[in-house]
Structure 1
Amino acid sequence: MTSLTLTLDPVVRLTREQFYELCKVNHDIRLERSSTGDLILMPPTGWESGKRNANLTTDLNIWNRQAQAGVVFDSSTGFSLPNGADRSPDVTWVEKSRIEAISPDPAKFLPLAPDFVVELRSATDKLATLQHKMAEYRDCGVRLGWLIDPQEKRVEIYRLGRPTEYLSQPEQLSGEAVLPGFVLTLATIWD
């Protein structure tokens, strides 16, 4: 299944609060909102994508528990981005001090762009759609992002203020200065 996009404008333009309430009353549906106000309905992934995503989240969380530098979030977490979009990346990490500085409502979406995001392409995802999301994250201030494509065994690395880097069949990815010491071994993703 692929995602479905509903264009609401000019019929209605949901505020951030209205979008949050819509998500709350439709909690069984994974929704995102683009910066132009389009609603994106995200279907559940297949088991293989779910396994890969769990491995990614686990690896990042193990590193984070040792580093104690931030907070790891899974794909069900909403982020209200500075450009007006509300997104739920597959895996995210935010430096602890940034969350503490804003004291967000724990029941609502986190009102900031994460420091690090991962989008994991499932078999039904359109690559161009994910590339657009990754560029959006970078434009909103995400410092490091990985678009991982298991089907092609490719990775696109998005860094704040720099052009996208394309890697073919890398064995590992480094968290660089954003996640010092974090290294993701891609064997569990490629298998």
Structure 2
Amino acid sequence: MGMALQEMAAATDKVYTYADYQQLPEGAPYQLIGGKLVLTPSPAPYHQIISVKLEFQMIAHVTSKDLGIVLHAPLDVYLEETETYQPDIIFISRGRMDIIKEDKIEGAPDLVVEILSPSTAYYDLRHKYRVYERSGVKEYWVVDPLEKSIELFILDEGKFKLDQEIQVRGIIRSRVIEGFAVDAADLF
């Protein structure tokens, strides 16, 4: 067995890798971000309500058109040795199903949705943003429940650029999931 959770969390100068992350008990509420084990507590009900509404619409669309698969947290997405996340929602296109391994997703999903919560907002907007960009995530949605906003970034020549932004009202259209759009009024 590895170190006790308290010891692992306390040793902040240590750089953790996927091997360390694997030592955590199943279901331990951590993500491996920048080589640190970051505690990510259970999301608030409103966060989950938005997540379920968005995922339900995405699944219905993707399934009816046989475009790929939509999955949700908690699910490990391994991007680098020091970066293993549990995005709120991911989409993997039909042609890239090989990144789905027995114990994790290994590689960048085509689309990632992160719904901001107080414990992870900084990472979602900064560090994870850069790693998703570097790893080749084609489309990144940042959903802010407090602002009732969605920012949609698309990968353009290796860099994310803001493609669409809505607040309170408006429609966001995916560039990666063909024909998929969502109305803010149906989420918030």
Q: Indicate whether the TM-score tops 0.5.
A: yes
Distance 2:138 2:67 in 1: 15
Q: Which has the higher strand share?
A: 2
Cα distance, 1:16 vs structure 2: 1.7
Distance 2:40 2:69 in 1: 24
For 1:47, the aligned partner's letter is: P
Question: Counterpart of 2:4?
Answer: none
Distance 2:146 2:16 in 1: 36
- Residue 139 of structure 1 contacts residue 160 of structure 1 at CA under 8 Å; is this kept in 2? no
- Residue 7 of structure 1 contacts residue 38 of structure 1 at CA under 8 Å; is this kept in 2? no
Give the SS at the match of 1:145: strand
Distance 2:122 2:163 in 1: 15
Give the SS at the match of 1:81: strand
Give the SS at the match of 1:164: strand
2:112 to 104, 108, 117: 117
Alignment of 1:148-187 (within 5 A): 148-161=143-156, 162-165=160-163, 167-169=165-167, 170-176=169-175, 178-187=176-185
Cα distance, 1:140 vs structure 2: 1.3
The reply to whether residue 129 of structure 1 matches residue 123 of structure 2 is yes
Alignment of 1:7-156 (within 5 A): 8=11, 10-11=13-14, 13-22=15-24, 25=25, 27-35=26-34, 37-82=35-80, 84-100=82-98, 104-106=100-102, 108-122=103-117, 124-125=118-119, 127-132=121-126, 133-156=128-151
- Residue 16 of structure 2 contacts residue 37 of structure 2 at CA under 8 Å; is this kept in 1? no
Question: What is the TM-score normalised by the length of structure 1?
Answer: 0.81
Give the SS at the match of 2:23: helix
- Residue 83 of structure 1 contacts residue 140 of structure 1 at CA under 8 Å; is this kept in 2? no
Distance 1:84 1:99 in 2: 23
Give the SS at the match of 1:98: helix
Question: What is the TM-score normalised by the length of structure 2?
Answer: 0.82
Cα distance, 1:155 vs structure 2: 2.0
For 2:111, the aligned partner's letter is: F
| Distance 1:72-1:141 versus aligned 2 partners, 3 A rule | same
Cα distance, 1:29 vs structure 2: 2.4
Cα distance, 1:165 vs structure 2: 4.4
Cα distance, 1:7 vs structure 2: 6.9
Cα distance, 1:74 vs structure 2: 0.5
Cα distance, 1:14 vs structure 2: 3.7
Give the SS at the match of 2:51: helix
| Distance 1:126-1:14 versus aligned 2 partners, 3 A rule | closer
Give aligned-pair identity as a percent: 21
Structure 2: gaps spanning 5 or more residues: 1-7
